[in-house]
Structure 1
Amino acid sequence: MLEQITTFGKQGMVYRRGHQIVLENERTGEHVAVKVVQYDSMQGWLAENGEGDWQWYHEKDNQNWPEDTEFWKYIKKVGT
């Protein structure tokens, strides 16, 4: 029962405000370290990059995005 309660998200990770994570661009393979501002299962991550700019990083799970949208996937927490 306790394990069910503490396991969150698709990969057992809670994308909370302030968490620093690494995302990978699925088209180019580029990795980027960002600080999560907000996570939404439909939109993806609203995150702050190294220059302090906020940007949406969309997940491919939502099939409603246009063809030219760049998709990102979660790789790991920063520092792990």
Structure 2
Amino acid sequence: MSDRQSIFDAVKAQIEPFNKKGVPITDATTFQGDLEWDSLTVMDFVASIEDEFDIIITMNMQAEIENVGQLVDAVAKLRDN
């Protein structure tokens, strides 16, 4: 299994408690459009991702991340630093 796939799987697992509508999770799944998350849900989710991967996602990065694939790539990049 690739490192990106393992990150995707972990991100998907973190999404599940917040996925109230049971939306299928793919790289293209958007947080605001598909999952319909509000800002409080996003903040809770970001905190869980930061804890899971021991990283910090800045507000600027959060503003640029619109879908699951972008988040997985950002996590991979942050873990490599």
Determine if the TM-score, normalized by the shorter chain, exceeds 0.5. Answer: no
Greater fraction of residues in strand = 1
The alignment's TM-score, normalised by the length of structure 1, stands at 0.27
| Greater RCO structure (CA 8 Å; 6+ sep) | 2
Q: Which has the larger radius of gyration?
A: 1
The alignment's TM-score, normalised by the length of structure 2, stands at 0.26
